[in-house]
Each structure stands twice: as C-alpha cells, then as structure tokens.
Amino acid sequence: MARPTKRQRRNGRHAPNQDVRPRGQGNDGDATFSGDAVSSTVPASTPRDRPIPWRRNLYAVGAAQLLAIIGFSLRAPFLPFYLGDLGVASSESQALWSGLINAAGAGVMAISAPFWGIIADRRGRRPMLLRAMIASTFTIGLMGFATQPWHLLALRLVEGLLSGTVTASTTLVAATTPRPRLGYALGMVQTAVFAGSSLGPLFGGLLADSIGPRATFGVASGCLGTAALLVLFLVRERFVPPKPQPAAQPGDRRRWAGWQAAVGFPLGQQLLLLVLVLFVVRLASMAVQPIVPLFVRELAPNTTDLSSLSGLVLGVLGLTSALSAVYLGRLGDRRGHRRVLFASVIAAGIFYLPMAFVAHPWQLIALQALFGVAAGGLIPSANTLVANLTPPERRGAIYGLTAAAAAMGGFIGPLAGAAIAAGFGFRAPFFGVAMLLLALAVAVRSLRLRVASSEPD
C-alpha cells in the first residue's frame, strides 16, 4: 500500500494499516496517570480518553488551594478586633466570640465531611472541590456586610456545612497520582495549605490596617472565586462511578462489609492512630488562633499595628510549614512516613511548650516558626499513610472520616482555648496544647511497631 503523502500526514489521513501512537502515551511513566481503580481504562484514542496529566492536576489544584487558604486565613488576625467594631467590648468576650465563630464551622464540618466524602466516591472528586470553593466565595464575601456578631456565626455555620476544600483537594490528588509519588503529591498539597496559612494572615493584617476589615472580606471572597475558576478550567478527572452493591437483606453481613474493610482489624488500629494525629494537630493549631491577637496586645500594649503583628505571628507558622512539607514528604517516600510522623510529633510538642513563657511577640514568632517546621511533617505523612492503607475506591469516604476528625479538633480547639484563656489567662492554652502533643508522641511511639508491621511498601 502506498505511503501517505506529506499533506495526508499533516491532515491526519494515514494508511489504514499504519500504527500511530496516540499523543500523551510516551515512555515517561510520570508524565501521565490513568487514575485510580475507579478511573476509565479504555484505550487512549481521543482527547477525552488520554491519560490524566497528574502533574498538571497537582499544580493546578495546589495553586487553587493556595488561593483558597489565603482567602480563609485573611480574617484570622483581625477577627477579634472586627467583633469589637460590631459591639463586643471586653477582651474576654472577644476571645469567647472568636472561639465560638471558629469552632462553629469546624463542628458542622465534622458532621458533614463524611457525607461529602461518600458523595465524592459516588459522583466524583472534582465536583466536590468546586462545590466547596464556590460556596465559600459567597459566605466569606457576606461576612463583610455583618452588623451583629451572630451574623458572622451564622455564616460560619453555613461555610462549615458546604466547604471543605482541603479534604476535596487531598482526595482528588490522591485519586489521580501514581502511588509511588503520593508522598510528594500530598506534600505539595499540604505545602499549598501551609503557604496559604502563612500568606493569608500576613496579608490580612496589612489589608485590615490599610483598607479596613470589611473590604478585606471582599478580597478573601475574590481569592476563593479565582480558585474555583482554576479548578473549573485546568483540573481534569475521568471518574467512573463504582458498580452499585446489591441491597443487603436483614441480618446479611454484607451490610457491614464496607465498614469492616475500612476500619476492621488490623487496618482499624492504623486508621485510628492517624485519625488521632489529625485531630490533635488541628486542635493544636486552632486552640490558640482566637487568642493570638489578644495575647499579642498583652505582650505589646503600645503597638499600633496590632493586626499586622498578629498576622505575622500566625503567618510564620504556615511559612515554615510550607517550606518543610515538601522536603519531609519526599523524605517520607524514601525513609518511611512512620518515622517522619513520629519525629515530627515529638518536635512539635518540644517547640510548643516554651510559647507559654514568652515575654515579647518576637519570641512567640520564633517559636511558631520552629513549630511550623515540625507541623510540616505531620499532616502529609498522616495523609500519605491513609492513602497507602485505603483502597482507591474508598479514599473519598476515608478522607471524609479523617476530615471529620480534623474538623472536630478545629471545633474543640477554639472553644477550649478561648475558655481556658478566659479563666486562666492567655498563656494557659499554650501549655495545655504542648502537653497534649507530647502525650500524642507517646501514643505514636507505643503503636509504632503494630502500625509498621502492616504498612504497604
């Protein structure tokens, strides 16, 4: 048969028996990824069927998550002072209201996160990420129009019900990343979270001091809206719903088969440990967030730019966490995520304890920076272990479970921190959190051998 002419090759008309490799199927196994067990496996003959470019997905999700966390974190350094503008006068009342507002959304998220995870397994992970970002765009924007403290509380409750960008991003990246690169990929996602947690308070304090808190809420809403657009136009997911299971009859053990597969022995012990880690880490980070601006005002009563200084105290934690997360994620891929997790928990407790005895804001900033280095190894290691221990088709539900635990820590932390600060002073929550982290290190050490015995390679 005659060979095709240059014009025929240029126009895509080839001889019938000519073997043409579809674009995107090169020899580089890291360039693309066909997805997890619920992804399509049909031949890559059309653009829709080509393997998912997991690196592009990762970077797009990371950029979107960075913007989203910046949007969420912009309000942290000025929220107690904004409550003062709304009529909350005393520092104790501002601390309690701040703790209640921060806790409210986390408490609702603890209830809703498992359900969103189950829906993600059935409907897809990308729609869940879009849902979380679009909903938060509106709730945070409306906070700038609040006239009463309960307005902020109500909007925070709605935000907790409909948001959850971190869980959705983690599940989506875990579903579209090759297993050998999960530590790196989830470390990148957590780096975006930490970087957003760093830049958000820094920019939030500066913006609140320059343009006011109400306009700053508008900027936060714009960040989340832009994040949603990035996901909409750049992130791909080829999701195929799992086959429906036959209905279980009364007394049929299949009714509990999915739950037993998720948390049964010995998998249950490992997941419970990781759930505990994520709960305590979230509690530790959120317990002091409502009181940091007020503690800074106590340490430096003559400072005029309190929002900016508070933003620096809160932001340096995210900055050092972002810098360490990728390195510690890769270190976990090489040396084992259990080792990184154990060392990080110990370091976190050691660096947190001296915060209860600081005499100047700069000492608090330095210790927050050191704690951030340790925190950068906690969440990526825990999330990677969860991914390695969970079947791909169950990751949405399991990440929903871990998100519920983290949200519960975010619910209890601000309430406990604000209550302890109101009763015993602003230093007491730092001491309590340090003791909790050191106790967690003992628990991780005691279960290390049992966890290590069945962790996948």
Position 377 scores a pLDDT of: 86
Q: 52 pairs with which residues across the strands?
A: 33
Q: What average pLDDT does range 260-266 have in this prediction?
A: 42
**Mean predicted confidence (pLDDT) in 13-40:** 42
Amino acid 134 reads: I
Euclidean distance between CA atoms 56 and 134, whole angstroms: 21
Confidence of residue 355 (pLDDT cuts 50, 70, 90): very high
- Prediction pTM value: 0.66
Domain boundaries, the chain: 50-241+265-452
Using one digit for the tens of pLDDT, what is the confidence trace for 185-243? 887 887 888 788 888 988 998 999 899 999 999 999 999 999 999 999 999 887 766 66
Task: Compare 179 and 138 and report the one with higher pLDDT.
Answer: 138
State in words which class domain 50-241+265-452 has.
Answer: mainly alpha
The per-residue DSSP string of 348-391 comes to: HHHHHGGGGG--SHHHHHHHHHHHHHHHTTHHHHHHHHHHHHS-
Classify residue 51 by its DSSP letter. P
* The pLDDT of residue 316: 87
Model confidence over 379-433: pLDDT tens digits?
Answer: 888 888 887 777 776 777 777 778 788 888 888 888 888 889 888 888 999 999 9
Q: Is the peptide bond before 456 cis (omega within 30 degrees of 0)?
A: no
Q: What pLDDT sits at residue 333? A: 77
What one-character DSSP code corresponds to residue 180? Answer: G
Q: What is the mean pLDDT of residues 18-33?
A: 41
> Could you tell me which of 404, 437, 451, 301 has the C-alpha nearest to residue 361?
301
**What's the token pair of residue 231?**
């996901």
pLDDT over 70 percentage in the chain? 79
Q: Which residue has the higher pLDDT, 173 or 34?
A: 173
Instruction: Answer yes or no: are the C-beta atoms of 165 and 134 closer than 8 Å.
Output: no
What pLDDT score does 225 carry?
97
Q: Please tell me which of 107-116, 160-169, 236-245, 386-395 the model is most confident about, judged by mean pLDDT.
A: 160-169
Q: Where are the alpha helices (DSSP H) in 124-164?
A: 125-143, 149-162
Averaged confidence pLDDT in the chain: 79
The pLDDT of residue 36 is 44
Residue 134 has pLDDT above 90, yes or no: yes
Sign of CA dihedral 377, 316, 165, 288: positive
